[in-house]
Amino acid sequence: MSASIFKIIRPFQVSDVSLVSSTVSATDPLASGAYNPATTYAAGALVQVDSPTFAFTASGYTFTAAAHGFAAGTLLKVSTSGTLPAGLTADTDYYMVSVATDTFRLSLTKGGVPIPTTSAGAGTHTATVTSHLVYESLQASNTGNTPHTSPLWWVETGATNRWKCLDLQTASQTYDADTMTYIIQTKGRVDSAYLGNVSATEVIITARESGGGAIVYGPSTYSLQASVSVSSYWSWFYEPIRLDSEFVDIDFPPYLNLELEITLNNTGGVVQVGTVLVGLSKSFGTTMNGATFSINDYSVKSADDFGNISFTERAYAKRGNFQVVLDNSAVDGVGYELAKYRATPIVYVASTAYNSAIFYGKYNSFSTLVAYDSYSICSIEIEGLT
């Protein structure tokens, strides 16, 4: 792993505003349809809830919406029938912070500084939440119980098929026959794309100027068929083709507000992907030789009364331990970046030469030894998400 640059990719969270289009149907195939408060649902019924809305009022830093039911970190945009409160802008992504039962504040960044308003505005103000979820009815005769505020009546089962790969989870996969395409309008700068828990034969990435303008990168086609060392003619002809389950591209130029088109192909089969992530990379230093890779297996072995052994296969998590050579001038910056993302899954790229060295997850610990006058050594342990 000599001379590999250790990088992280800081994610851009895709919202209703930034998802321009997708060839994956917006209608989830498992749900019976969109939730309707006038419909009576049986126990076990599945419904789809897209972009729920609620009305709010504004006063200074505080926004009021009785029993809104949403948690801190919820992503939303605002609109109005009249004039928005001064300080808010339509079609802008905001995060809910300082959330209480009937009140909340808004920030431009997750967990960030609240935004003040200097007027109440005019008309009815509406917040539209970026949320595309499937809920299961827990009881019969289920009528008029709003899913996200009625935990005795409904349980969330996950994102809809289109949004599974954009929910920053990786175990659940979006799927479609033959091919799928996502077009994402970014805000700010991005230079990287990551695919996790993916099953496809190739990926095509195209980057355009904001709003679908001139192409500035690609179309670049990458094969996801893994290279396998061949020890005999038999293995060349008869060994099954293995597909890479992770992919990263850190090549496109960091233009401002790029529109990215990501296409996955598996002609004659099913395309599956657990995570589609775009973001901005940051280099830390040089990854040293001596890295270790492993997995945590969550499968369970059990024995019955007669000693018969059985296994229940469950997910697993990748793990890696790396040492990174840092310039002493970078020590404080690396510590700051790692502390900032201690509770947020991001992409860690210890080396692009090995898929085993690409992680979507979190670090468990890191330490920095200021070893010499000009450089230091950072030890970092990373655990991928299941």
Contact (Cβ atoms closer than 8 angstroms) between residue 147 and residue 139: no
Which phi and psi angles does 235 have, rounded to 5°?
A: -65, -35
Please, are residues 281 and 271 in contact by the beta-carbon 8 Å criterion? no
Residue 355 has a pLDDT of 86
154-159 and 125-129 strand pairing:
unpaired
Give residue-wise pLDDT tens across range 1-14.
Answer: 556 899 999 999 89
- Is residue 230 over pLDDT 80? no
Count of CB atoms situated within 10 Å of the CB of 157: 13
Tokens 């009364």 correspond to 305
DSSP category for residue 84: P
Give the C-alpha separation, 378 to 331, whole Å: 8
CA dist., res. 266 & res. 177, Å (int): 8
Please give the pLDDT value at position 1: 56
Percent of the chain past pLDDT 70, that is, above it, reads 96
Residue type at 225 in one-letter notation: Q
Per the DSSP assignment, residues forming a β-bridge with 238 are: none
pLDDT at residue 183, as a whole number:
98
How sure is the predictor about 244, in pLDDT bands with cuts at 50, 70 and 90?
A: confident
CB atoms near residue 118 (< 10 Å): 9
Closest CA to 278 of 3, 12, 46, 53: 12
Listed range (192-196, 243-247, 376-380) with the worst mean pLDDT: 243-247
Given the structure tokens 């020890």, which residue do they identify? 231
Write the pLDDT tens digit of every residue in 60-87. 999 999 999 999 999 999 999 999 999 9
Name the burial class of residue 268, with classes exposed (0-12), middle (13-18) and buried (19+) by CB atoms within 10 angstroms of its CB: exposed
Rounded Cα–Cα distance for residues 232 and 218 (Å): 37
| pLDDT mean over 185-197 | 95
HSE-CB of 218 using CA atoms within 13 angstroms? 23
Question: Widest CA span of the chain, in angstroms?
Answer: 75
Q: Helix, strand, or coil here: 196?
A: strand
At 89, list the tokens: 């802008």
Residue predicted with more confidence, 372 or 205: 205
The H-or-E segment that residue 336 falls in is helix 331-340
Instruction: Over range 348-355, report the average pLDDT.
Output: 90
Q: pLDDT grade, residue 360 (50/70/90)?
A: very high
The model's pTM is 0.87
pLDDT tens sequence across 5-43: 999 999 998 999 899 999 999 999 999 999 999 999 999
